Amino acid sequence: MKSTFMENSETVKRNWYVIDATDITLGRLATRVAGLLRGKGKVTFTPHMDCGDYVIVINANKVRLTGKKLDDKNYYNHSGFPGGLRVRSAREMIEKYPVEMIERAVGGMLPNGRLGRQMSKKLFVYAGPDYEQKAQKPVEIGL
């Protein structure tokens, strides 16, 4: 009887992908990126291993939100001290912190704990069209 193939760190083959976020809905972008980071599209997907690919997201400041989310959606941070709650609207996030906005959306779709943190290190988000990882020859994919 054949045993099930389980990927390990020596057999993982990682690819590099570039995704242009221009006029793509934030949630659809985040689900696609999270799936690539986890390696869900690979035949050798193993849930307890980091077998995903590297993903570069460019033009993060041109991502789109539907409905009234620009004014109604809020992002919360708390410093841990009394009165340390900071609230930012999605409009403020997309204008000043577009990289953090996409990283938060993708990070919420990755596993919690060490494995998710390890996967999130393979995500590179840039507000503009230029990126530093040109030497890796990433493949551009569209949504």
Rounded-to-5 percentages of helix, strand, coil across the chain? 35, 20, 45
pLDDT tens digit sequence for 91-126 = 999 999 999 999 999 999 999 999 999 999 999 999
Work out the pLDDT band at 2, boundaries 50, 70, 90.
Answer: confident
Amino acid identity of residue 141, one-letter, is: I
| Cβ 122 vs Cβ 15: under 8 Å | no
In this prediction the pTM is 0.93
What is the distance between the alpha carbons of residues 112 and 103, in angstroms, rounded to a whole number?
14
- Comparing 83 with 4, the larger pLDDT belongs to 83
% of the chain beyond a pLDDT of 70: 99
C-beta atoms surrounding 35 within 10 Å: 16
Token pair for 41: 């599209």
Residue 58 has pLDDT above 80, yes or no: yes
In 81-93, which positions are buried (b, 16+ CB within 10 angstroms) versus exposed (e)? eeeeeeebebeeb
Looking at the DSSP assignment, which residues form a beta bridge with residue 88? 75
- pLDDT recorded at residue 3: 77
What is the distance between the alpha carbons of residues 9 and 102, in angstroms, rounded to a whole number?
28
Which of 2-16, 33-47, 69-83 shows the lowest mean pLDDT across its residues? 2-16
Structure-derived torsion over alpha carbons of residues 96, 78, 57, 67, reported in degrees to the nearest 10? -70
